[in-house]
């Protein structure tokens, strides 16, 4: 009789283990997976935007000097970024806002970083030309 009781417990444990391995945890425990649309927007912007134009503009402004660098940075910092509609066509309002915010922040930060790199290079070229 003790043998049958151990056998039943073993079968119940085996069934529970198989059930928990087959079903994903979101179904078994009632959790939902939330997508981070801000991060998704940053990833999409990383695929779309490389910032080469901002670097070329930075080189041109850096060759002018520190005033050119500063004025160019003000222009670049205030430029907007457009999010392609095909990314946000299936999102609701909050998802769209989060996605667009992530996309725009990534583009703006990349644009400013690349501009500063280009302006630094252009200014160093100017500095070498003035010194020599």
Is 69 domain-assigned? Answer: yes
Q: From CA 38, how far away is CA 99, in angstroms rounded?
A: 5
Residue 12 lies in a domain: no
Q: What is the pLDDT of residues 28-38, one digit of tens each?
A: 555 556 678 99
Dist CA 6 CA 94 (whole Å): 54
Nearest alpha carbon to residue 112 among 84, 83, 72: 72
**Closest by Cα among 108, 124, 127, 123 to 54:** 108
Do the Cβ atoms of 104 and 81 come closer than 8 Å? Answer: yes
Residue 17 has what pLDDT? 67
Domain that holds residue 108: 34-131
52 is a domain residue = yes
- Does residue 28 fall inside a structural domain? no
pLDDT band at 14; cut points 50, 70, 90: confident
Can you give the pLDDT at residue 108? 95
Q: Does residue 1 sit within a domain?
A: no
Least trusted range by pLDDT, from 13-22, 34-43, 72-81, 111-120: 13-22
């Amino acid at each position: 009789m003790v043998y049958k009781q151990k056998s039943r417990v073993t079968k119940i444990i085996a069934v529970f283990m198989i059930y928990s391995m087959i079903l994903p945890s979101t179904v078994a425990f009632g959790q939902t997976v939330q997508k981070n649309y801000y991060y998704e927007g940053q990833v999409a912007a990383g695929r779309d935007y490389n910032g080469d134009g901002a670097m070329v503009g930075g080189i041109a402004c850096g060759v002018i000097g520190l005033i050119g660098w500063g004025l160019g940075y003000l222009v670049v910092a205030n430029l907007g970024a457009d999010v392609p509609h095909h990314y946000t066509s299936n999102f609701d309002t909050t998802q769209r806002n989060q996605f667009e915010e992530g996309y725009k922040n990534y583009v703006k930060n990349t644009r400013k970083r690349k501009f500063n790199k280009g302006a630094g290079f252009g200014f160093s070229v100017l500095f070498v030309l003035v010194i020599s």
